[in-house]
Structure 1
């Protein structure tokens, strides 16, 4: 299928992170073969325990002395125990020694697969291996009680940065791209709407909301070595293929991005924003006029959906093009929890609407 006559064609595609294939080799091979020159980066699909983003972290963190589970009965999600956590009574959070979080081990193992496929000619030269990491706000905000978040966040952040350092030490920098996933941040930004839906809104455990988020994002960008690409995925969640709140428009996404661009101590290689399936109207995209996108930053709009494929993506592309003049395409979040039989078609839809680099 080609683009309808007169529809602008975005350049490039981004795989946000999770892909519903059983292993890294299948994911990397499919991405390279189906999307070809449209991809600058290929992830491993967040396979194994990472299939549900951060839901495996409580199983990891509960192994640390001084951290305990909340509740007596496991909350099972496909083998993972999703019960929340707390710092045990009488324990100083700063004294807790967290174990390896699992991100570095997974990235190093998957990079070996990536490098092997490149040697076979499956992965084109110049394509980077993409590693997606959560933020400390995500894990601490999702799993620890409000009164403990300020104390435990520095402990988790230090452990997360150790994972980043291990990844950067093991993978050649010119092969590596790091993506920071920002989802709980948007629960905090949209907390009033989230609470209105009867959900437990995540309140900030610092002062002013926006300045705190910007400072954290700038720090995350700055911790990535200068010769490693860094990107940001702005996210409204993907539980059951649904956002936790549907964004009214792109205004808060643009505000977050502009704060990041202004504060980051280094260039941002790419930025991703979600686009809900029903939004092909001007009102959703109009705030993109205010996006201060640096010349070196690629913008990816998550407007490819499995339900309406290339046809629906083309409608959303046509509208977006009236408000921003350069962007590539993506899904609105990872597709690791989409039906397995939809994955190939979803990847092909990216290729149908995006021009190669």
Structure 2
């Protein structure tokens, strides 16, 4: 095998579309030589079991379940947390479980979504957002009681404060409501705040931790909870076509990703914050505060033409095809410098040629290359 593909600069060095574009490293590929080849559907693969135990221990949970994606882990977690409809799931209106999982919340769980835009614009709070919208299970037959609350940390790169998580968790326990965390990028929150994964996770009934976002594993997410929960989650995983046979190949690379890349996350945050500070100094309006590895440039407010942004990005040889600028550990310094030029040039062009049309940008279309 020609290993130069894995030792040279990653093809993702100039890709700011998402932190999912990272490519496997040489150490990940080398781990395949000593991986196990058991059948994970029969719980007979040692590496998969090792990965599940590793993440469970990091989060202080009894057990873990390796899934092919965060969508699968979130959806089966919601399903296990719920019992008999009618019921509702309360979440942020921007939450991945609601916006980006193909309507699975409704079709797979039969739940009514209760979506809330936080009053503070950053994260849900108990007093301002949850209490005014909570539907109690009090015998009122016209309603679908709130039986599950889903939080996301980070959401759009913003960190959910641990003190607010504690308040919401206590409320859930007092009212017999389950609490799930879409922790796809909880690694980033932990790296930035110094709060351990275990401390974050202790307040939730279930947590989904992505391995292919930000950490750089090629495939997968681990769902953690107690043993009874994970046993039932595995049942729904199989039902949804998520069984993986020789998943040790993937699990080996995921273990390397955790061990080698977790400590690199804070450097990606520094890059994002530097871009955010540059934007603020130039008067470029941002949608959200920059707290971890994302910068959200408000395309509409800055009157930037989406097609012009793509044109300028292509000119500099980087991939910034929307206002969401994502940083990962394989971004090169040269690409970062070019990215700054792209944003400033697109903004300067917009001042002379403001884009006034409505543009509903889609991340996953041919238009977005």
| TM-score normalised to structure 1 length | 0.30
| TM-score normalised to structure 2 length | 0.29
Structure with the greater alpha carbon radius of gyration? 2
